[in-house]
Structure 1
Amino acid sequence: MHNVLILGLAALAAAAPAKRQVPHYPPTSLSNGFFLVANVTDPSLDLSPSINGWVFQTAHTGPPTNAAVLQAPGSSVPGRVFYENGTAEQVHYGQSTVITDGATPPTPFGIFIQSPTEFDITYPTEHDLFVNAGPGTPSRITDFPNPYPILQNNQGVGTFVACNNTVPYYGYKFITINYAYATFEGPDGGYEYHANIPEGCAPINLVPQCTTLNTLPPDAYASHEFAAPVRCYDDVAAIDWTQYGP
């Protein structure tokens, strides 16, 4: 009887499920307005000085166009305030765009991302980002099931990158924001992922940091009627990402 009891307990122990690892992610809030903050996804490719925590800003290159650049934190001029523009249906089907207001009276300026077949004239291995008048390229802040809210380009799989480039309009260096499209082809037609990060560029996520979306004046061309609430962080720079994950 004693041996039977031991065998029974052993069987129960063997049948008990392994302890599950509980997912743990930094807390988010909901906001209609947000900054976009760079988070370097591969520290070995970071620039010098590090651009981790730098903020999405624009460099005017002529009406109504702007280069997408990163600005060091602590500047007296804050980063651009963005919002995701679209109905609930457009957001769900990846047809929303990410917009900032510019000019006087306020006008919607969208983030335009070159397609996989378009390239920068000066840097022919890179796909440019512009912030120009108009709705912009289909993009969104990721939601469930992605545990981390980040800016997503809906034109194709890849990653945003930060590059130390000369902007021709100024003739000197900026940290520009570009996009690297991934490819999925291996030897003999096999499936193999290639990130295609341009040499000298750092792969980044553009992470939303919550802020207040301003009230528009009566003469504004822009509208916040369809500014969708998105998940965002209260302080991206304060997050120790190594403490989180599944």
Structure 2
Amino acid sequence: MFFTLATAIAILGATSQAAPTSSPIFPPRSSAADFRLVANVTANDLTPSINDYVLTSYHTGAGQAFAVLVPNTSATSGRTFYTNGTAEDIRYRRSNILTDGGSPPFPFGVVINGDESVSINAGTGTAGVNLALFPDPISKLSAVGKAGFYACEKTLPAGPAVQIFTKAFEETTPVGCADVSLLAQCAESTGVEHPFAAVSGCYADVAGIDWSIYSA
């Protein structure tokens, strides 16, 4: 079968109209130096739901704590975090995520442990734990070499808690645990000065994001 040039152009035009393409859209972001980390459950929610829970610490010893999720009942629920590092540290994913503790305040850092549990311990934490950078369009906690995070109900020394773990690439989430993204929600300044705190992308209200119209 032979086609004239005009016929071929018409066919190509009809094909392009029949298969429109659309770019993904993402929730609008603001920016702040301080933020809370809010859980967005992406699969296998727990009962009761832990969606919109916030990250905080579960004291286990002097200067040591597990990272756990608790209900988001007020603007002060959970810990307030900040990104610590120079512009170069952040660019090359050498920064860390810190929070203040003690009196007078001193830094506690997010730590990735060898057993994949996550801690919030006194010190600078694990380098490479940061808020996701380009090309990832979502402001969420990430860790170099890890695929993400999941949460499990555990019995800890002082009672039950929803504990956070890192997830390796190609790892299957344990049965009974929920896959979560820990999204940065902008927070009011704690008033503590941090010489190397960076302004981070964050959301005004994580719970108010309608993921049915946005790409995760």
Same fold (TM over 0.5): yes
- Equivalent position of 1:111 in the other structure: 110
Could you say which residue in structure 2 is the equivalent of 1:80? 79
Q: Secondary structure at the match of 1:242?
A: coil
Aligned to 2:210: 240
The runs of 5 or more residues in structure 1 that have no matched partner are: 120-126, 183-193, 217-222
Larger-gyration structure (1/2): 1
Q: Distance in 2 between matches of 1:133 and 1:65?
A: 6
1:137 pairs with 2:126: yes
Task: Specify the alignment match of 2:162 in structure 1.
Answer: 175
Structure 2, unmatched stretches of 5+, are none
Q: Does 1:208 align with 2:207?
A: no
Q: How far apart in 1 are the matches of 2:12 and 2:55?
A: 56
Deviation per CA, 1:130-153, whole angstroms, max 9, x where unpaired?
111100012110122111111001
Alignment check: 8 A CA contact 1:143 1:231 kept: no
Superposed counterparts of 1:124-203, under 5 Å: 127-138=116-127, 139-154=129-144, 156-168=145-157, 170=158, 172-182=159-169, 194-203=170-179
Identity of aligned residues (%): 41
Counterpart AA for 2:179: P
Q: Which letter maps to 2:55?
A: F
Closer, same or farther in 2 for the Cα pair 1:74/1:15, shift >3 Å?
closer
CA contact (8 A) 1:81 1:211 kept: yes
Secondary structure of the corresponding residue to residue 39 of structure 1: strand
User: For residues 95 and 64 of structure 1, what CA distance do their matches in structure 2 show?
Assistant: 23
- How many pairs were matched up? 212
Q: What SS is found at the alignment partner of 1:241?
A: coil
TM-score, normalised to structure 2, is 0.89
